[in-house]
Amino acid sequence: MKKILLIATGGTIASREDGYGLSPTLTGEELAQSVPEIAGLCEIDVVQPMNIDSTNMSPQDWMCIRDVIAHNYPSYHGFVILHGTDTMAYTAAALSYLVQNSPKPIVLTGSQQPMGHPFTDAKLNLYQSLLWALDDAARDVSIVFGGLVIAGTRARKQRTMSFNAFTSVNFPPLAVIRTDRIIYGAPQHACSRTQPSIQKGVQTNAALMDAEPRFHDVLDGGVCTLRLTPGLTPAIFDLLRPNLSAIILETFGIGGVPDAQSSSPSFESAIFDWVDSGRTLVMTTQVPEEGMDLGVYRVGRTYAEHPGILKGGDMTTEALVAKTLWVLAQTKDPKQIRELFYTPINFDRLD
């Protein structure tokens, strides 16, 4: 029988009402005992590195979860992480870069309602997460939620209350789970050159079981996301300069940046000064689906060929934040930053 390590971190799934609002109090053992149907699936051990609302999840907590996985990696066939939904997509993306090329599945799940709620989604999500973690096609980091299996770099929380809270952005779900039946997806994209096809998951997973995952143990802290809004002035770059080494810039539409010359400095000079000073700038779009293309409009083409500007393509902002944190921790050399950034990892890029 396979062995799964259940890593409990808190979140709504572990929460109770205490008169001041929901807060996580249930332990991982209590959560597992609440779903007796999982007892016959596999051997389950439980660890509890933290019990927090995921709003408070930090990069240091990501490293703690990574350390639990690394320490226990030889002893288990897979890992299921119980996590709050609000920052689950960030954690899944971060773990995709901290634990790369894992032949063993690392699955995140949680719920929109606490385990003790009479109409909770927690029980089915936990059950289906274990089903996926035990499946021969499963590998690398993913989220299982609301019947979908989503690559760890492609998830986004789309709804605040509905049980189908997460969507797979610009990439098909890896699988759909209907009660206890797994229906595999079959993505055939450019990143399949470095990532196994789910359609061939059984054969590929067996071949990779002897492979060693690549664990990384450091992230850079000086990264933030900046969303353009009408009226925002380029002076914001000067305010951010003392404390940050990288900005994820969410542009308008397919890649538009205001080019009005009324402000001094202009966005063009502020952005070029930022990257020419040795800092990193990643351009993406604030529109959730279909990605960006800086070459379409005049208001974006200025930035299309500058070697210091990285293009987010159709990646999620969550993945861009996590990947930039990881890349800048590996190197400060602009050429190597660019090479690492454009290397596909866990289906994060299609180009």
Q: What residues are annotated to the active site?
A: 12, 85
Give the integer Cα–Cα distance in Å for 181 and 131. Answer: 9
Whether the CB-CB separation of 247 and 226 falls below 8 Å is answered with yes
Whose structure tokens read 């709804």?
159
| Residues 142, 140: Cα–Cα separation, whole Å | 7
Which residue is it, tokens 């002076």?
A: 235
Q: Write down how long the chain is.
A: 351
Rounded Cα distance between 260 and 267, Å, is: 8
Residues 6+ apart with CB under 8 A from 181: none
Q: What are phi and psi of 267, to 5 degrees?
A: -60, -35
Do residues 173 and 117 lie in contact, with contact meaning Cβ atoms separated by under 8 Å? no
- CB of 46 within 8 A of CB of 4? no
